[in-house]
Amino acid sequence: MTNDILVFAEIRDGSFKKINAELISAGLNLAEKSGGAVNVAALGGDIDAAIEDARKYPIQKVYAVKNAVLANYSTQGFADALEAVVKQAEPAIVLFGATAMGKDLSARVAARLGAALLTDCTEVDLEDGSLKVKRPVFSGKVYANVVSTNDGIKMASVRPNIYPASDQGGDPAELVDVACDLSADNIGAMVTAIESTAAGRKDVTEAEIIVAGGRSLKSEENFKILEELADVLGASVGASRAAVDAGYAPHSQQVGQTGKVVNPKLYIACGISGAIQHLVGMRTSKVIVAINKDANAPIFQHADYGIEGDLFDVVPLLTEEFKKIVEG
């Protein structure tokens, strides 16, 4: 085993995702302590552009498995390919994004290799050869400090928007093609289609700014005023469970305990009272703004800025104010 850190690169539609640059930055911190290098595993079908992008980061090697069988994500295909990379690169630590793909793949591969696995971390560190992480548990009600206790390979998935994205620079990283026999016949679950639901917006888990609405929006139609604000800010639209259950917004936008956990730099909660189930999904946001008619709404206890008022008055005015900045 080396002292190296391997970053599993998530590639979607042929492009190298932002989370990968965040993982490289987390990996560089770890590598400084371990005395190793950061390398990237790039797996997929037609991924030459993503590989070239990856090589521009301050890493040592890009280990690539290019195979048509990996054109779409499959747990088994990607697990076999990543296993082949791990056997060749012999990393001490493998980092994944805490995403649908990263969480699915990391658990499968960790089980196969007998690795230690720490999911959904907001801090990753190395101490006396152990991986030491902080991760939200109980849907973010508390943090757990967790360490790896094994001698062998350690793995962690890191939540998006925590580490700053690494800059590109320096000489291009070495490209290593890794041989791996893959056959579609051995893969029991295959993606046949991918359908976009976000209509041009980033998923709430990836968004830097979120404008979210609660049941006070009163209808699906009224969510348009949040969308108008989101458009000006390049933001995504979130919703409370109450709004989703009332049918005003799709579940893909739900923030909270039975929805998604988000971590944007700005979260604007409009007409959301702040039930614990919602708070746990958004309270690590850097700055929280609450707009609510009820001065006693719990959301104000967790916000940085509050406006006691009717969202139907305030939100359009905010949209106008932000427009001035964006256009000015």
Partner 1 sequence: MKIGVLVKNVPDTETKIKLTSDGTGIETQGVKFVMNPFDEYAVEAALQFKEKIKDDATVTVVSLGPDRVVETLRTALAMGADDAVHVWDDAFEGGDMLTNARILAKVIEKIGFDLILGGKQGIDYDAMQTCAAVAEHLGIPQVQIVIALELSEDKTALVARRRIEGGDEVVDIKLPAVVTCEKGLNEPRYASLPGIMKAKKKEIKKIGLADLDGLTADDVGSMGSTTKIVGYESLAQRPSCRMLEGEPAQQAADLVRALREESKVI
Closest CA to 124 of 32, 49, 29: 29
Min dist. Cβ of residue 124 to partner 1 (A):
13
Q: Which is nearer to partner 1, 53 or 206 (CB)?
A: 206
Q: Which is nearer to partner 1, 33 or 112 (CB)?
A: 112
Site for partner 1 in 183-242 (CB under 8 A): 187-198, 201-203, 205-206, 209, 233
Does residue 263 belong to the site contacting partner 1 (CB under 8 A)?
no
Closest CA to 87 of 173, 8, 171, 178: 178
Does residue 119 belong to the site contacting partner 1 (CB under 8 A)?
yes
Site for partner 1 in 155-184 (CB under 8 A): none
Does residue 327 belong to the site contacting partner 1 (CB under 8 A)?
no
Q: Which is nearer to partner 1, 197 or 219 (CB)?
A: 197
Does residue 122 belong to the site contacting partner 1 (CB under 8 A)?
no
Does residue 252 belong to the site contacting partner 1 (CB under 8 A)?
yes
Does residue 134 belong to the site contacting partner 1 (CB under 8 A)?
yes
Q: Which is nearer to partner 1, 169 or 188 (CB)?
A: 188
Site for partner 1 in 44-83 (CB under 8 A): 72-73, 75-76, 79
Cβ count near 323 (within 10 Å):
15
Does residue 11 belong to the site contacting partner 1 (CB under 8 A)?
no
CA angle, 21 then 282 then 24, to 5°: 10
Site for partner 1 in 294-313 (CB under 8 A): 300-310, 313
212: CB partners within 8 A, 6+ apart: 226, 237, 238, 239, 240, 255, 267, 268, 269, 270, 272, 282
Closest CA to 22 of 196, 266, 236, 263: 263
Q: What is the DSSP letter of 205?
A: T
- Whole-angstrom distance, CA of residue 90 vs CA of residue 250: 43
Q: Check: CB of residue 240 under 8 Å from CB of residue 275.
A: yes
Does residue 328 belong to the site contacting partner 1 (CB under 8 A)?
no
Does residue 120 belong to the site contacting partner 1 (CB under 8 A)?
yes
